Amino acid sequence: MGVWLRNEQEIKAWNIVYVDFEKRPLRQIPWNVWFNTWEKELKPSEGLVYFLLDEIQYADGWVQEVRSLLVNPRYRIVATGSAAAEIQTALDQEVRRWISLHVPALLFHEYLLIFHPQEYAKIENDILKGQVFFEKGIFDAAEMGRVFDTLKDLFKNYLLRGGFPEVAKTKLSLPEVQRVLTDVVDKALYQDMRTQFSRQDIENLERLLEYVCRNPGVLLDKSKVSETLEVSRPTTARYVKALDDGDFIRSLSNHNRGGKKALKAKPKLYPADASLRNAVLGRTEEVLNQPEEMGHIVEGVVATHLSAYAQAEGGQVGYWRKNDNEEVDFIYQRTDGKYWVIESKYGQPDPKWLRAFIQWSKSERERVSSCFLVNRDKTGIGDRTPPTDWPLQCRLNVVPAPVFLYLLSRELWMKANINENSVGSMKANTGALTGKVEVGEVRKQQ
């Protein structure tokens, strides 16, 4: 962000203050000491001053110090931290004037843009040439095939190491990368959550995370999980919320408004990042040759990308399921009330998802504007003519998983970068760091 402030906003270097409170020596220096040193030695110029405070939850008395800084209308505070819930609670109670930006793990387009610029340039300049696809609803088979050929190997690498900037570009071996990622989990659970949970609770959180990683897309039965962990149902719900807020998992609700209450209450849980999931379970390159497990992994990545898209665009994403197991993997409801329906089938498509639409009311079927079958490879790629008994009015788009994920996250990035002139106008889900960002400011009176 400091580079962006200097290059794009033309902020002088001495008006940008970066403090990393994860470094123990900085935590031991009183706040006023480093602040006075900066002010005396660097002599900030006129104009706005930006304080970039990393892992702020480790700084003693940080809430009061931030409040004192915000008295000065020149100061802008950007506070990042992996203990998202703790930071947000403190801000709600004490600071009040702040903007929260949720920054998930890298989406596939971001991964290509940052770490594989040559392949990215080839796709954008030679193939896509500025086109948009989801708004038009037209997917050319030849173009999609060329994009797939460029992405297929990079996608495998993304699944194993791509979600975290800290390791995505390193020359570390995969075992070394996975040790870094498991350390991230240990730190987030055993350090960042210790103010909210007991040691036993944290061990249960770790068990629940491993369960979701082993079973991506699992329907959460709170009674069974509560019995296994020997806790109450409300405590299980609290665990799920903590893992969701901490960017460990994603939770999707059932879109079937007419289903039984017991089924509607069961959320579908996915790991929030494939590389973190594989690190937790110790899955290395061999997982890429296991179609069944890859199907679960890819479904989880589709879920996280759709969740990011929905949060940024103001839409809603869920799944549709009945007691007879007829199911549609994902339904994205746009802000205009129209639906996208998405089925992730890395192996052979299951005809049950087609039969599920027959259960829908006519009015709901008419609201479906786009239908996607996210496939393993180029088989049947493109805008397809559906079977004669197709219950929807729209056509079926068959898109390989790497292409679908790239185009979805690409469209989000394109929208977020139109006429962007300030931090305040940035979309919430287009950052390249994992965790939460809290932005506090005091605006001048007009």
Beta bridge partners of residue 436, listed in sequence order: 81, 102
Residues 6+ apart with CB under 8 A from 1: 52, 78
Number of residues that make up the chain? 446
Predicted model pTM: 0.82
How close are the terminal C-alpha atoms of the chain, in Å? Answer: 28
Q: Rounded to an integer, what distance in angstroms lies between the CA atom of residue 5 and that of residue 222?
A: 46
Q: What is the pLDDT of residue 423?
A: 35
Predicted local distance difference test score (pLDDT) of residue 352:
66
CA distance 173 to 299: 26
Instruction: Determine the pLDDT at residue 164.
Output: 81
pLDDT at 436: 36
**Residue 414: alpha-carbon gap to chain centroid:** 17
Best CA proximity match to 117, nearest among 139, 150, 149: 150
Half-sphere exposure of 257 (CA within 13 A, CB side): 3
**Per-residue tens of pLDDT for the chain, all 446 residues:** 888 888 878 888 888 989 888 887 877 888 888 888 888 888 888 889 999 998 888 888 888 888 888 888 899 888 887 776 677 777 777 766 677 777 778 999 999 998 899 999 999 999 988 887 776 666 788 888 999 999 999 999 999 988 887 776 667 889 998 998 998 888 888 877 877 889 999 999 999 999 999 999 999 988 999 999 999 999 999 999 999 988 899 999 988 655 444 345 689 999 999 999 999 999 999 999 998 899 999 999 999 999 999 988 889 999 988 766 678 899 999 999 999 999 998 766 566 677 778 788 888 888 998 889 998 888 878 777 666 677 788 888 889 999 999 999 998 888 877 644 433 333 333 333 333 333 333 333 33
pLDDT at res. 264? 54
Instruction: Give the tens place of pLDDT for each residue, 207-219.
Output: 999 999 999 999 9
Contact 65, 19 (CB under 8 A): no
Q: Rg of the chain's alpha carbons, rounded to an integer?
A: 23
pLDDT given for residue 350 in this prediction: 60
Q: Is 141 exposed, middle or buried (0-12, 13-18, 19+ CB in 10 A)?
A: middle
Cα–Cα distance measured from residue 154 to residue 161, given in angstroms and rounded to the nearest whole number:
10
Report the alpha-carbon distance of residue 170 to residue 445 in Å, rounded.
Answer: 47
Are 54 and 21 in contact, with CB atoms under 8 Å apart? yes
Which single residue is written with the structure tokens 């996210």?
374
Question: Which pLDDT belongs to residue 323?
Answer: 65
Report domain extents, the chain. Answer: 2-104+431-441, 108-414
Paired tokens of 78: 């950007």
- On whether the CB atoms of residues 175 and 284 are closer than 8 A, the answer is yes
Cα gap 309→110, rounded to integer Å: 13
Q: Quick: pLDDT tens for 379-407.
A: 878 777 666 677 788 888 889 999 999 99
Tokens, residue 38: 């900066």
Considering only CA atoms, which of 434, 443, 335 is closest in space to residue 101? 434
Which secondary-structure segment (H or E) carries 401? helix 401-416
